[in-house]
């Protein structure tokens, strides 16, 4: 047990060591900084894999690994401890594996970067460490530390090219939008401590049954657990880019492509899903919040898929698919299929990282161009990248036997078998999204790789990426093919109860995972039919009759612009929040700050300077003038005395 604890600690803290050395001494290490952080991630990934095998083989029981005393103040206690159960260990294995592949890929992708590459690798290691802190936390305050850490790291990585205004604006946007959601999360943590008496998971879960009937007074009377669960979910909405708090995610594409892969596949956006699964004992007792989760998740899936249909940018198209897939995960949480949510989170990491890194190879091949309408006919130039993108797209579309088929279908089957109207809403939105996902995925493939080259300059110079970029694609391709069929028996199949070992809680009678085996055959086949239909429609529109999309865009121009402008969320937020805030800030700056706060001392200073300037004129340096002045003063003094007497 002690050996397992030690190995787990090394796996978690290895990225921190990489960050400190690359960040502190990178300017001296040069290219060695990249190699060192990659080696640290190799160690981390290997140890986390050993941890998963140890749990699965029954050699390790769930434990808490003490690290250090942290906060002890006025009865409040929060120690730094690593929670080692199947939920945390499985996510650690996924995060470290994908992060390692992103590190290896980045060695080739950033080879010609003019800015300090050591800074980039230091930020990547910080990002990984913060995510590991989040998923291995034993209390909500420690989780919040990792939560804010991934927010900081995303800000640094998205704005890595600080000389580009668009990158700086995107980094600030991601930071601000997440801070809005984090306020609700922090209030939720505070309410848990005030009413349940602790921020430790074990203490919270033990106290929950005694507070089922408690209420909270705010604009009426509400069930306490519903209020807490909703606050936590709003925090998760920001981090996992759900509808209304999603606007930062597409703009995050301004960072280097490896950053996009790490954010979308293994870190940050999955943090919100992990939070809701970790807090499953609380969420289970909040049925209204669970319906809200299904509503937001299902609607987000549909919204993001519609926007992805018309995006010209290759990375933004894949980014909107991330929003859709996260929506699926939240639908699973809402119907109580937490295991299916974690299953899709894991398989999604493989094929989404594959798609982003494949897109990076395309961008690298065509000299940093990202507009798909300038590409075309690239499959002969970059055949290995083409094959990888096919595999990733098949997994994303949920085509058998690729990874997405097993996990996405498990979610949709759970939504249908939940028997609730909101669960059926999630199923309908999920099936429509499956069709749209396949449609825009093959739109990307046909526009980029097939047809005639639209820009001969880009086409003639296209070339395959170096081995350091292609090897991660090969490994991720294997994961995108096999992860579903290999993990299904453990994550959602007959072995799932023993696999999770109590790390995920469900109330007695909430047997949604057991009911998956009884899903009607036709219902189970609908998502696959939808995916195949999407591919067929994409072929019709972009290969057989390529004039159809342009004709539809002209005839349905208002709808086309509505989707192209992302349902006008950014424009509405700009009009409702950003401009009024700027106007208020300018008023307080010019009117209150400069007009009042700074005006008074500045006015006194100007008065003093003016008076001194007048006094200086009196000082002429002439003895005659000084004697005459003294005489005048003496006359005035004597006259005053005579009149007074």
Q: Model confidence over 351-370: pLDDT tens digits?
A: 999 999 999 999 999 988 89
Q: How far apart are CA 58 and CA 55, in angstroms?
A: 5
CB 455 within 8 A of CB 356: no
Lowest model confidence (mean pLDDT) among 94-103, 151-160, 603-612: 603-612
Where residue 1 falls among pLDDT bands split at 50, 70, 90?
low
pLDDT at 18 exceeding the cut of 90: no
Look at residue 252 and tell me whether its pLDDT is greater than 80: yes
pLDDT higher than threshold 70 for residue 616: no
Mean pLDDT, the chain, rounded, equals 89
How many other CB atoms sit within 10 Å of the CB of residue 539?
Answer: 17
Which contiguous run of DSSP H or E holds residue 567? none
Give pLDDT, residue 179. 93
pLDDT in tens, 470-489: 999 999 999 999 999 999 99
Q: Among residues 442, 433, 331, 348, which one has the least CA distance to residue 395?
A: 348
**323-351 mean pLDDT:** 95
Position 527 pLDDT exceeds 80: yes
Provide the percentage of residues in the chain whose pLDDT is more than 70: 93
Backbone angles phi, psi at 508, to 5 degrees: -55, 130
pLDDT of 199 = 94
pLDDT of residue 108: 87
| Helices and strands in the chain: count of H runs, count of E runs | 29, 4
Residue whose tokens read 């249909």: 309
| 63 DSSP β-pair partners | 84
> Whats the size of the chain, residue-wise?
645
Q: How far apart are CA 303 and CA 357, in angstroms?
A: 24
Minimal CA–CA distance to 477: which of 393, 364, 397, 410? 393
């Amino acid at each position: 047990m002690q050996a397992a604890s030690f190995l787990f600690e090394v796996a978690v803290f290895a990225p921190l060591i990489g960050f400190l050395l690359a960040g502190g001494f990178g300017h001296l290490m040069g290219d060695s900084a990249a190699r060192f952080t990659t080696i640290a991630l190799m160690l981390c990934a290997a140890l986390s894999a050993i941890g998963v095998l140890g749990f699965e083989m029954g050699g390790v029981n769930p434990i808490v690994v003490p690290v250090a005393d942290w906060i002890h103040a006025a009865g409040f206690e929060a120690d730094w401890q690593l929670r080692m159960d199947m939920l945390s260990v499985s996510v650690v294995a996924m995060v470290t594996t994908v992060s390692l592949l992103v590190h290896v890929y980045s060695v080739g992708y950033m080879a010609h970067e003019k800015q300090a590459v050591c800074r980039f690798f230091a930020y990547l290691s910080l990002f990984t460490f913060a995510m590991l802190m989040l998923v291995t936390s034993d209390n909500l305050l420690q989780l919040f530390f990792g939560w804010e850490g991934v927010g900081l790291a995303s800000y640094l990585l998205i704005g890595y090219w600080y000389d580009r205004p668009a990158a700086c604006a995107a980094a600030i946007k991601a930071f601000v939008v997440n801070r809005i959601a984090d306020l609700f999360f922090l209030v939720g943590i505070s309410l848990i401590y005030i009413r349940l008496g602790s921020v430790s998971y074990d203490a919270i879960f033990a106290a929950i049954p005694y507070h089922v009937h408690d209420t909270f007074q705010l604009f009426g009377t509400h069930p306490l657990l519903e209020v807490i669960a909703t606050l936590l979910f709003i925090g998760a909405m920001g981090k996992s880019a759900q509808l209304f708090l999603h606007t930062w995610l597409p703009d995050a594409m301004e960072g280097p492509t490896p950053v996009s892969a790490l954010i979308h596949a293994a870190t940050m956006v999955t943090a919100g899903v992990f939070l809701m699964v970790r807090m499953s004992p609380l969420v289970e007792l909040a049925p209204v919040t669970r319906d809200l989760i299904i509503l937001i998740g299902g609607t987000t899936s549909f919204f993001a898929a519609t926007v992805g249909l018309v995006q010209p940018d290759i990375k933004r198209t894949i980014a909107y698919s991330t929003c859709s897939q996260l929506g699926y995960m939240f639908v699973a949480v809402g119907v109580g299929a937490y295991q299916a949510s974690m299953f899709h989170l894991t398989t999604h990491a493989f094929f989404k990282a594959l798609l982003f890194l494949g897109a990076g190879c395309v961008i690298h091949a065509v000299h940093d161009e990202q507009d798909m309408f300038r590409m075309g006919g690239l499959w002969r130039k970059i055949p290995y990248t083409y094959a990888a993108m096919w595999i990733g797209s098949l997994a994303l579309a949920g085509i058998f036997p690729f990874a997405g088929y097993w996990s996405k279908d498990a979610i949709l089957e759970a939504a249908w078998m939940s028997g609730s109207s909101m669960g059926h809403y999630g199923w309908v939105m999920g099936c429509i999204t499956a069709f749209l996902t396949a449609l825009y995925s093959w739109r990307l493939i046909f526009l980029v790789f097939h047809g005639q080259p639209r820009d001969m300059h880009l086409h003639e110079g296209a070339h395959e990426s170096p081995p350091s970029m292609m090897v991660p694609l090969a490994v991720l391709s294997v994961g995108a093919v096999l992860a579903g069929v290999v993990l299904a028996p453990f994550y959602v199949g007959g072995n799932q109860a023993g696999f999770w070992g109590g790390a995920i809680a469900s109330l007695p009678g909430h047997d949604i995972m057991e009911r998956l085996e009884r899903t009607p055959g036709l219902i189970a086949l609908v998502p696959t039919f939808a995916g195949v239909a999407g591919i067929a429609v994409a072929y019709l529109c972009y290969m057989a009759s390529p004039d159809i999309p342009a004709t539809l865009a002209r005839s349905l121009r208002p709808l086309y612009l509505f989707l192209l402008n992302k349902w006008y969320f950014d424009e509405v937020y700009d009009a409702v929040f950003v401009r009024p805030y700027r106007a208020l800030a300018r008023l307080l700056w010019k009117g209150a700050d400069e007009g009042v706060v700074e005006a008074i001392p500045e006015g006194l200073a100007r008065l003093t300077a003016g008076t001194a300037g007048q006094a200086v004129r009196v000082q002429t340096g002439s003895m005659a003038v000084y004697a005459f002045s003294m005489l005048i003063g003496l006359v005035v003094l004597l006259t005053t005395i005579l009149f007074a007497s």
